[in-house]
Amino acid sequence: MEITVEADPVDVTATARREFARLLGEFRRTAVLVPFDENGSLWTADFNGVRWICAFSDEEALARFAEARGETDREWTYRAVLGARLLDALVPLLPGPGGVALDAGSTDGMVFPPVAGIVPDAVAVDLGETTTGTGER
């Protein structure tokens, strides 16, 4: 006989939030590589109405991205930028909602979306208030 114990959804959510907060803090303190396009602008990608600044954890991740795009024959110019500077200073300069995509296209990639607590409140997308099942906020 096998007994299955289901995890408490509140605990799972709290654990996921703590892990994301840890990863966000680490990203903010880390210099990442930000490539430029052929025009000298930050390499960005638009997806579902959000402009994403593409950033990479190291040269190998950037090389894998270039290879996946079939663009290994061109020179990729990039600059090391602190994650906090990307989120706090560069995202607000983007037209419309913007965030950062770290190691785009890789299995270890992650996104830092344009929501309060990640980007400055002035450029955060308002997702509206959420309520608990009891009506509390």
Please list the pLDDT of the chain residue by residue as tens digits (137 residues): 666 656 666 688 889 889 999 999 999 999 999 999 888 999 999 998 999 999 999 999 999 999 999 999 989 999 999 999 999 999 999 999 999 999 988 888 999 999 999 999 999 997 665 444 444 43
Instruction: Say whether 56 sits in a helix, a strand or coil.
Output: strand
Q: Measure the N-to-C terminal CA separation of the chain; round to a whole number of Å.
A: 42
Long-range contacts formed by 91-97: CB under 8 A, 24+ apart: 91/53, 91/119, 91/120, 91/123, 92/119, 92/120, 92/122, 92/123, 94/44, 94/51, 94/53, 94/123, 95/51, 96/49, 96/50, 96/51, 97/49, 97/50, 97/51, 97/123, 97/125
pTM attached to this predicted model: 0.82
